[in-house]
Amino acid sequence: MRNVALVVLGFVLLVVQAALGHVLPLGDFTPILVLPLLIYLGVHDIPLARGAAIAFVLGYFLDSFSGSPMGLQTFVAVTLFLFSRAAGVRLFLQGRLFQMGLTFMAGLLSGGIILALRAIFERRYILDDATLGATVLALVGPAIATAVTAPLVFAVVRRVDAAATRRRDEGGEPA
């Protein structure tokens, strides 16, 4: 039940992100709302295989929503889950500034990976002086917007995770 709740929450966050992009003219500052969920999966007590599978599903949904080449966001989502798992920073949930900082760094990492993969596989993404400013804005804008929204997303994820865990414990299902 916990896994289903996290996947459904990720889907809802993607719907909100898509709606937010159409309702508000945020442009390059549209947050990637599923990113804090991936970080949460990496630093909490979710087994590696289960967390990677959830990250894979969320990345697949993100590929479907964004219209990017299939597999690109999926790869990045699993990579960010593993990055946050390797960081093993369980203390980041203690402070909002640290949450925002880690989310900002993960957003930059995500954007950098996507840019690098597109530069490798799609020849039209060539970085030169004419596109440098737009590329930097495309990397930093979503990272800033995601970092600002991260504490709210973390709070929602914590509540959904706690409710799903509590339901499992009350129902007498094995852990």
- Is 169 a residue whose pLDDT tops 70? no
DSSP string, 93-148: GG-HHHHHHHHHHHHHHHHHHHHHHHHHH-TT----TTTHHHHHHHHHHHHHHHHH
Q: How many domains does the chain have?
A: 1
- Is 71 a residue whose pLDDT tops 80? yes
Residue pair 50/96 in contact by the 8 Å Cβ criterion: no
What is the C-alpha separation between 57 and 61, in angstroms, rounded?
A: 6
Could you tell me the sign of the dihedral formed by the alpha carbons of 63, 92, 9, 148, in that order?
negative
- Is 171 a residue whose pLDDT tops 90? no
pLDDT confidence of residue 58: 94
The predicted-structure confidence for 73-105, as pLDDT tens digits, reads as follows 999 999 999 988 887 665 555 678 888 888 999
pTM: 0.82
| Amino acid identity at 20 | L
Write out the two tokens for 10.
């990720």
Range of the domain at 44: 2-171
The predicted-structure confidence for 8-66, as pLDDT tens digits, reads as follows 999 999 999 888 878 888 887 888 899 999 998 888 878 899 999 999 999 999 988 88
**Local confidence band at 110 (pLDDT 50, 70, 90 cut-offs):** very high
Where is pLDDT greater, at 1 or 143? 143
| Average confidence (pLDDT) over 148-170 | 86
pLDDT confidence of residue 10: 92
pLDDT confidence of residue 129: 66
The predicted-structure confidence for 116-138, as pLDDT tens digits, reads as follows 888 787 766 566 666 777 888 88
Burial of 138 (0-12, 13-18, 19+ CB in 10 A): middle
What is the C-alpha separation between 93 and 151, in angstroms, rounded?
A: 9
- Is 174 a residue whose pLDDT tops 60? no
pLDDT confidence of residue 175: 45
- With residues binned 3-state (H G I as helix, E B as strand, rest as coil), the percentages for the chain, rounded to 5, are 80, 0, 20
pLDDT confidence of residue 89: 60
What is the C-alpha separation between 92 and 87, in angstroms, rounded?
A: 10
